[in-house]
Structure 1
Amino acid sequence: MSAIGGMARPWQAVSVLGALARNRNLRRVELAWGASIAAEWTHFVALGVFAYSAGGASAVGIAGLVRMLPAALLAPFASTLGDRFRRERFLVAVAFAGSAALGGSAAAFFFSRSELIVFALAGVVGVTSTLFRPALQATLPSLARTPEELIAANGATSTLESLGTLLGPLAAGVLVSVANAGVVFLVASGALLVAAGLLQGVLVEGRIQVSAPAGTHRPLELVAAGFRIVASAPKTRLLVVLTTAQSFIRGCLNVLIVVGVFRLLGSGAGAVGYLTAAVGVGGLVGAFGALSLKGRRLAVPFGVSLVFWGLPIILVAAWPHLAAAVVLLAVVGAANSVEDVAVFTLFQRIVPDVVLTRVLGIVWGLAMGAIAIGSVAATGIVALVGSRAAFVVVGAILPLTVLIVWRQLVRIDREVLPPVDELAIVEGVPMFAPLSIAAKEHMASRLVEVPVTAGEVVIRTGETGDRFYMVADGTLEVTNGVRAEARRGDFFGELALLRDIPRTATVIASTRSRLYALERDDFLAAVTGHSAVRAAGEALVEERLQPS
């Protein structure tokens, strides 16, 4: 665990999971994600069984291509809808579309056994599954209220994906054995209906960084904006390149597992399942540990996790025994979970919210394409250098890549730290507690530091209110009929802004002090854009206006 960086004790993971469970919106979104993953993997197994019974191994390959290729091509473009419309509503629409496609697959199975229809609808399911991911990951920062809660949400996403990798195929295998692929399609359709129902109850409030109205930009301009962010922002570009490289290795590993079982380990076909399951089990362990990642510096843990993605693959060649391979691939699974949590939290932190869904759509589109290319490339590498050497070649790619870009990862951690002091000041205002971490970090970035000397007047009774003030250091005297003191953690100036009236108090610095100010428009956007914050603000105003 310590090699992956920033891990804390297991009880801390339990604590952040408890905080996650108390957030109603996050709880619903994560449960919907779990249902979506279950549907995706049960469909994957049922489609493979149906394809093999229809046309053998070649049909399975065609089904896989049809399932992934449209997703790789369309995801960057279709994901623009997640930035044009409310993301929680977009997720509902995607879940309904996926459910309809799976229901259509079941109908085609029972009434016509048409490979053409089932394969075509598999392409639709692949697209909806791929769109669900970036939209969900772009929604999480608007639902989480602290950096730790956001990491917990990303960790829960990774945990549920690992569980889906294990339990989805298992459930599908049982259903295919006792019934048929059509029944599995129906069950998967029902799972996505459950996901849509859960998402219907999710409401994102207080999203300060809102996009322009939908009608102001053409679809191609929206897509181009996402690609421009990836191409022009060095930090984002590096993360996208590394994520795509990891997906390429994942595609290679899918093939190497099968090749290794028969040519390197000398095991039977059942070992393919054991090794695949080992990745899932390791993913569960890694996801639990990733919940305790320190929230400030994530680029270095991301790089280290990529190293541990590659080294175990090399060691399979050095130690070609089934038991060893199971342990080594479990390490790969654990590293994958840490990598997911770290890199997607970084994307959520670095990429402007207005284009976040589009950028994540590009990431997932490239990932799907890289997995497909990796699957093809692995067969060529095996043919060129042999089975054992192929593990060494593939396993070395990510560690060597990380070595080349290590300084850039360290620089990201140094430069992309959220405004710690400013964020702490914002989080110290009880009125702002319901805001998401995305809104709080945006607000923290808009704060203006205001140093004042002893005796200096900050605001005066009767003046027009133009700022909201929070005290970082020092002591100030507040006069409003009575005298009071304001110290670190206190705030003032909200009454004139919320009621649009002149200042009702005079505030003078008693000692040299340091304040943070939020301009009127930024303050009102934060308070009026979230019902709970608005209610807290009104309650505070009523309290301030009460006679002393």
Structure 2
Amino acid sequence: MAATAGLRGRLDGTRQALRNPPLARLLVVWAVWITADWALLITVSLLALDVGGPAAVGLVGAVRVLPAALLSAPASVLTDRWVRSRLLAVVLAGSGALTGVLVWCASVDAGLPVLLVVVAAGSAIGAAVRPTLQAMVPTLVTSPADLIAANAAYATIEAVGTVVGPGLCAALLGAVGPPGVLGVLAVLLGLAALVAAAIRTPFRPVRSARTSARAAWLAPLAGFRVLARPGLRLAISLFLGQTTMRGLLNVFVVLVATSMVGGSESRAGSLFIAMGVGGLVGAAVALGLGPQHGSRWIALGIALWGLPVVAIGLWPDATVASVALAVLGFGNALLDVSGYTLVNRLVPDHLAGRAWGAFSALGAAVVALGSLAAPLLAGLVGLTGAMVLTGAVLALAPAVTWRWLSRLDALASGRAEDVELLRRVPLFAALSLVGVERLARGARTRDLAAGEVVVEQGEPAADFYVIAEGAALVTRDGREVRQLGPAEAFGEIALLDPGPRTATVTTAAPTRLLVVDRDGFVAAVTGHRPTDDLARERVARLRSADEERSTGEPDGPR
């Protein structure tokens, strides 16, 4: 009964989260994009087949992937530097315009070179879509539970899109031909651009000083550095193992369909459909997941990517293959929802676009690696050996790494007492729980005896401080101007409005401080619209107090 009540509560929370209009608009945009992407893949493949034969189909497939893989990391810099909804709208509008150019290509038989150029341009423009979408999701929710609901909806839409996109394409091809299909897709992308432009989020590009030319060139690499952080490094490694298997599986399924199952190339399509059906079921189940045990679901999802591949290798039968791939699709949904939620909680919002861009680039690279390795492995050890070997390695990976994987839940949420303390600070009142957790995770504690100087008037500012226990005195020009106690903070103004400290803070008793560094504090405050507005008001108020210093005492230190 308790489990049923808990599940019902989580599902109610899911429905509530999805009633959020900005999040609903974002999911509509994602639905249009994933549906159009699948329909576009089929349509341009048919155009390539007509003008250049099977070799041209492979060439178009490569051109659709490579520019996005190469540009996803550089393009994702824009995700962190621009208003994300506007960037998404521009990219969708550009994709719609290029799809309109494809209508012309299909109508006049423009030839393979022109088709390749237009497809490559579309891939380049679309490189920012997934990083931007994934970076926007956590800015539109207020709690880890809502984040799970949003990611479950995201996974559900992706599974539905893999069915609806090809189905829409098939239905329209017979009626209006490739030009008509492309025309419909161009209109849909244009409408999605309008929906994206209407999305409002609290995210605001972080205010920062002008950077050097060298720093600008290195900016795209910031995402890779984020993914290499402790905790994230392991999660991303497991994700990349699963993504490598995706590349292997693309080849394995075709080989199974044509040789082991005793079917034909059309059998491969039905096997992928089984995987999509499993994904739909998994996404529905994932709606009821809680945020406390994400590492367990990640481990299960990875194992369910490996074990079905082993089963197909050992029992090459059509029924076994269909059931196994449905189970794999189920595991994929669990992995996507729990894994994306964990990564979203661990990645700083001001670097989220670049982190997801780096992840997309790495993912595309290892998919290609898996696709190239599959026939080589099958040639060396046979198809059965290749599937059993690679599937077993992936299935065992969570067990081998569980000692470290099991710690990720605690790492994602931060220390409970630090989160609670930061939520009591008025400056952070507008931040979501996810945002406060991110801030707490990067904070450190500092224990001081009575009478120790924390910051000194005139020195450069480096950190923001919150008193967890104890008390402190604020003095300016030798005069005591304020006393501070638990849950009170100091040091914010010199970080937001760069300059030296204008007051000295000294502990009045044994004191424990929670210390947030400059980068984490500035990103959390200036990257969140309501919090940034609150901080600006406080800066103005303190400046006014400074101007009236001769008639009234200042409120606190800078």
Shift of 1:123: 2.1
- 1:159 equivalent to 2:136? Answer no
Q: Distance in 2 between matches of 1:8 and 1:109?
A: 55
The answer to whether the 8 Å contact 1:16/1:291 transfers is no
The answer to whether the 8 Å contact 1:105/1:117 transfers is no
Match of 1:347 in 2: 343
- 1:134 equivalent to 2:152? Answer no
Deviation string 1:398-435 (CA, Å, 9 cap, x unpaired) is: 12333332222123334333343454576689997864
Query: Of residues 24, 49, 56 in structure 2, which corresponds to 1:27?
Result: 24
Q: Distance in 2 between matches of 1:162 and 1:385?
A: 33
Query: Of residues 394, 403, 406 in structure 2, which corresponds to 1:407?
Result: 403
Q: Distance in 2 between matches of 1:135 and 1:9?
A: 33
Query: Of residues 445, 448, 457 in structure 1, which corresponds to 2:466?
Result: 448
Q: Distance in 1 between matches of 2:428 and 2:19?
A: 17
The answer to whether the 8 Å contact 2:148/2:341 transfers is yes
Match of 1:181 in 2: 178
Q: Distance in 2 between matches of 1:417 and 1:100?
A: 43
The answer to whether the 8 Å contact 1:175/1:184 transfers is yes
Match of 1:476 in 2: none
Match of 2:196 in 1: 199
Matched residue of 1:448: which SS?
strand
Match of 1:358 in 2: 354
Query: Of residues 35, 39, 51 in structure 2, which corresponds to 1:38?
Result: 35
Q: Distance in 1 between matches of 2:264 and 2:224?
A: 45
The answer to whether the 8 Å contact 2:414/2:438 transfers is no
Shift of 1:361: 0.6
Q: Distance in 1 between matches of 2:80 and 2:55?
A: 39
Q: Distance in 1 between matches of 2:16 and 2:423?
A: 16
- The letter for the 1-side match of 2:468 is V
Q: Distance in 1 between matches of 2:527 and 2:378?
A: 60
- The letter for the 2-side match of 1:316 is I
Matched residue of 2:291: which SS?
coil
- The letter for the 1-side match of 2:124 is V
Query: Of residues 65, 89, 93 in structure 2, which corresponds to 1:92?
Result: 89
Q: Distance in 2 between matches of 1:73 and 1:533?
A: 34
438-447 or 24-33: bigger deviation: 438-447
Deviation string 1:297-319 (CA, Å, 9 cap, x unpaired) is: 42332122111101011111223
The answer to whether the 8 Å contact 2:424/2:487 transfers is no
- 1:272 equivalent to 2:290? Answer no
Match of 2:225 in 1: 228
- 1:374 equivalent to 2:365? Answer no
- The letter for the 2-side match of 1:76 is A
Match of 1:318 in 2: 314
The answer to whether the 8 Å contact 1:470/1:515 transfers is no
Deviation string 1:325-373 (CA, Å, 9 cap, x unpaired) is: 2111011111111111222222222222222211211111111122122
The answer to whether the 8 Å contact 1:67/1:123 transfers is yes
The answer to whether the 8 Å contact 1:467/1:518 transfers is no
| Number of equivalenced pairs | 490
Q: Distance in 2 between matches of 1:448 and 1:431?
A: 11
Query: Of residues 56, 64, 67 in structure 2, which corresponds to 1:67?
Result: 64
Q: Distance in 1 between matches of 2:328 and 2:350?
A: 34
- The letter for the 2-side match of 1:313 is V
Normalising by structure 2, we get a TM-score of 0.77
The answer to whether the 8 Å contact 2:156/2:284 transfers is yes
- The letter for the 2-side match of 1:184 is V
Match of 2:460 in 1: none
Q: What is the CA RMSD across the aligned residues, in angstroms?
A: 3.9
261-270 or 307-316: bigger deviation: 261-270
Deviation string 1:117-146 (CA, Å, 9 cap, x unpaired) is: 222222233334442111111111211111
Aligned-pair identity in percent equals 32
- The letter for the 2-side match of 1:228 is R
Matched residue of 2:80: which SS?
helix
- 1:82 equivalent to 2:79? Answer yes
Matched residue of 1:308: which SS?
helix
Shift of 1:532: 10
The answer to whether the 8 Å contact 1:469/1:517 transfers is no
Deviation string 1:4-33 (CA, Å, 9 cap, x unpaired) is: xx9996534532331222212111111111
Q: Distance in 2 between matches of 1:154 and 1:214?
A: 35
Match of 2:455 in 1: none
Q: Distance in 2 between matches of 1:9 and 1:328?
A: 30
Matched residue of 2:393: which SS?
helix
Query: Of residues 141, 149, 152 in structure 1, which corresponds to 2:146?
Result: 149
Q: 1:428 to 1:110 in 2, by over 3 A?
A: farther
Q: Distance in 2 between matches of 1:522 and 1:221?
A: 22
- The letter for the 2-side match of 1:240 is I
Q: Distance in 2 between matches of 1:468 and 1:27?
A: 42
The answer to whether the 8 Å contact 1:52/1:59 transfers is yes
Query: Structure 2: which 5+ runs fail to align?
Result: 444-464, 475-479, 489-511, 538-558
The answer to whether the 8 Å contact 2:414/2:437 transfers is yes
Q: Distance in 2 between matches of 1:442 and 1:262?
A: 49
Q: Distance in 1 between matches of 2:425 and 2:156?
A: 33
Q: Distance in 2 between matches of 1:400 and 1:337?
A: 19
Q: Distance in 2 between matches of 1:110 and 1:148?
A: 49
Q: 1:258 to 1:221 in 2, by over 3 A?
A: same
The answer to whether the 8 Å contact 2:206/2:526 transfers is no
Query: Structure 1: which 5+ runs fail to align?
Result: 1-5, 472-513, 539-548
Matched residue of 2:319: which SS?
helix
Q: 1:252 to 1:211 in 2, by over 3 A?
A: farther
The answer to whether the 8 Å contact 1:431/1:533 transfers is no
Deviation string 1:509-530 (CA, Å, 9 cap, x unpaired) is: xxxxx999999x979x869964
Q: 1:34 to 1:210 in 2, by over 3 A?
A: same
Normalising by structure 1, we get a TM-score of 0.78
Q: 1:400 to 1:284 in 2, by over 3 A?
A: same
Match of 1:508 in 2: none
- The letter for the 2-side match of 1:312 is P
Higher relative contact order (CA 8 A, sep 6+): 1
